[in-house]
């Protein structure tokens, strides 16, 4: 029997490799915002404050140029119902944190878009300090968390039925990971038992540092978990991410219970991308596909 420099026999090494591959035969990769949590209000709260920090505050700005605080938030929600609705209507086009800054700018300018393409064209054409906004966005979130973690958490309620489904998959030995444009350390901070109770370790949260582009994250999943693209099952609420990663051979699913528009769902169906309309169908639909593959 031959031995490797570490002293393990080649036979044993290949057995270990096979076992590792068996455990991670399939990977369920789940986006965070709009799939696991409803972060629409947290993102508005944080992005508005970040926008004011970067571009200054004046009365012409939306929401009266008033910074949001955990204290004035209940009043703000009542006072600016129309602006909130407008913000919600633009949320489906978000890919990453900096897009929330663009929405603030669009609200300020009274600009509207009707499709992902129009949103992307606006992003390409506009002058905007993305890096500065990005840093301010995460700083504003941290400031709010520091003020009161529990109150901040109430801005971002989880989809409870999805949490249950994820726990079931983990119990069954499915490798569940998070693939997000958000930040790993912040997501890991809400997974402990006293909050969302999700048994996903920090190493299994792939964030923007693995690429804001989800294709880069999929490459990384193959390397890290020793799987092929066709072994990855990816759920996201942003159709553009699915269209992009599907080309690699990934099994993709559109989460329909959050922000995806009728138009986006319609396009997904035309492209034969399964749309999981409701939270309650998350577990059964994914289970079915995992079995069939
Ligand atoms: Mg999302």
What's the pLDDT tens digit per position in 205-263? 999 888 778 999 999 999 999 999 999 999 999 999 999 999 999 999 999 999 999 99
Which token pair is 30?
């789940």
Average pLDDT of span 125-135 = 95
Average pLDDT value over all residues in the chain: 90
Task: Tell me the CA–centroid distance for residue 292 and ligand 1, in Å.
Answer: 26
Task: Tell me the CA–centroid distance for residue 11 and ligand 1, in Å.
Answer: 43
Tell me what pLDDT residue 153 has.
95
Task: Tell me the CA–centroid distance for residue 39 and ligand 1, in Å.
Answer: 9
Task: Tell me the CA–centroid distance for residue 35 and ligand 1, in Å.
Answer: 6
CB 103 within 8 A of CB 12: no
Tell me what pLDDT residue 245 has.
97
Identify the CA nearest to 120 among candidates 96, 140, 155, 156: 96
CB 268 within 8 A of CB 238: no
Q: Give whole-number Cα distances, 240 to 209, 243, 261, in Å.
A: 19, 5, 12
Task: Tell me the CA–centroid distance for residue 172 and ligand 1, in Å.
Answer: 25
Q: Give the confidence band of 66 by pLDDT, cuts at 50, 70, 90.
A: confident
Q: Give the confidence band of 62 by pLDDT, cuts at 50, 70, 90.
A: confident
Query: CATH 3.40.50.1000 residue ranges in the chain?
Result: 5-37+157-292
Query: What's the predicted TM-score (pTM) here?
Result: 0.87
CA atoms of 90 and 113, how far apart (whole Å):
8
Q: Give the confidence band of 22 by pLDDT, cuts at 50, 70, 90.
A: very low
Q: 5-37+157-292, which class in CATH?
A: alpha beta
Q: Give the confidence band of 5 by pLDDT, cuts at 50, 70, 90.
A: very low
> Which residues are found with C-beta within 5 Å of the ion, ligand 1?
31, 33-34, 237
What angle do the packed helices 214-225 and 239-246 form, to 10 degrees? 50
Average pLDDT of span 95-116 = 93
């Amino acid at each position: 029997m031959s031995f490797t420099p570490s002293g393990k026999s080649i036979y044993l090494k290949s057995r270990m490799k096979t076992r590792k591959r068996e455990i991670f035969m399939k990977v369920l990769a789940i986006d965070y915002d709009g799939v696991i949590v409803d972060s629409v209000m947290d993102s508005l709260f944080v992005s508005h404050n970040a926008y004011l920090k970067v571009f200054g505050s004046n009365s012409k700005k939306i929401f009266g140029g008033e910074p949001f605080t955990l204290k004035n938030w209940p009043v703000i929600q009542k006072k600016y119902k129309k602006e909130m609705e407008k913000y919600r209507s633009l949320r489906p086009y978000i890919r990453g944190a900096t897009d929330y800054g663009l929405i603030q700018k669009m609200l300020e300018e009274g600009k509207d878009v009707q499709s992902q393409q129009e949103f992307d064209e606006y992003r390409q054409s506009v002058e905007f300090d993305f890096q500065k906004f990005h840093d301010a966005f995460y700083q504003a979130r941290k400031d709010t968390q520091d003020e009161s973690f529990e109150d901040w958490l109430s801005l971002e309620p989880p989809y409870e039925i999805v949490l249950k489904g994820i726990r079931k998959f983990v119990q069954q030995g499915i490798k569940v990971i998070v693939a997000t444009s958000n930040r790993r350390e912040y997501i890991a901070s809400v997974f402990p038992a006293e909050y969302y109770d999700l048994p996903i370790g920090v190493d299994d949260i792939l964030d923007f540092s693995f690429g804001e582009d989800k294709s880069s994250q999929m490459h990384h999943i193959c390397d890290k978990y020793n799987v092929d693209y066709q072994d990855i099952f990816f759920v996201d609420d942003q159709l553009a991410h699915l269209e992009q990663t599907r080309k690699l051979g990934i099994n993709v699913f559109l989460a329909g219970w959050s922000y995806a528009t009728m138009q986006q769902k319609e396009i997904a169906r035309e492209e034969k991308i399964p749309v999981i309309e409701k939270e309650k169908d998350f577990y059964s639909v994914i289970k079915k596909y995992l079995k069939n593959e």
